Amino acid sequence: MAKDWCIGIIGGSGLYDIEGIEDEQWLMIDTPWGDPSDEILCGRIGDVKVRFLPRHGRGHPITPTDLNTRANIDALKRAGCTDILAISAVGSLREELQPGRFVAVEQFIDRTVHRPSTFFGNGFVAHVSMADPVCPRLSEMAAKAVTACKGKVATGATYLAMEGPQFSTRAESRMYQAWGADVIGMTAMPEAKLAREAELPYALLGMVTDYDCWRVDENGVGDSVDVAQVVAQMQENSQLAREAVVKFIEKLPKTRKASPIDTALDDAVITAPEEHDPAMMAKLDAVAGRILAGG
């Protein structure tokens, strides 16, 4: 069934606000999973409702490992979001993906180990498919928005999600290349998994800030990554990212056609009805409200 767009924007490192939002209001949304990273900026761009959340909080006080991603996704769902476009700083594992370039991510390799990665648990177990972890139509529209803003964008990238907060060793960086990863970051997992569990189509635009540490120069001296380098490139990328987000929203089709991801939970729940835990189900009122209500 068609419904109006309500776009959730998750701003990555260096992207703590969005320009062009009208009727704006910062709202704190309570969730059963705790507090999200920050208040959500609610408003509209043209006729499209927008909900913006700075992933690390304004001023970047929260580490990747300490992000309450369940609360972030739950809060965006409670705020009415139909789809999510995430922005993230990434390191490049490919020579042709130079700093300053954008990538539309298609696949993920999850190497995070310390983060809750599901909304579901004992008393209400569900297994969603992550074979195709991003929404292809959102990804295509996001990539076209970067191009329309005269940015360079690569598509079909594989993102390696590492735990952090330290950057990779050189051996790790080269291993991730051998695995087929194109870019590396610390935040897209379990974000993409949780968005799928919440039946929210998700796309990720990566902003390349550095070459990680796999490269060596003609003298055999290896690159390394430091915060100053990353921040400087983020500042260069952030204005284009803001422009691309606005262009993406302005170019959305007038009518939002239904996505298969809207019903991702239809065949995911495996727990027998007589074993359902009321306390667990109460926490899932936003994330799984559609199936809990028999929708």
By annotation, the residues acting in catalysis are 210, 212
Q: How far apart are CA 198 and CA 287, in angstroms?
A: 5
**φ, ψ (nearest 5 deg) of residue 143:** -65, -40
Q: Which helix (H) or strand (E) holds 197?
A: helix 188-197
Q: How far apart are CA 22 and CA 45, in angstroms?
A: 6
Q: How far apart are CA 233 and CA 30, in angstroms?
A: 34
Radius of gyration of the chain (CA): 19
Closest CA relative to residue 198, chosen from 206, 190, 188, 187:
190
Residue 216 contacts residue 95 (beta carbons within 8 Å):
no
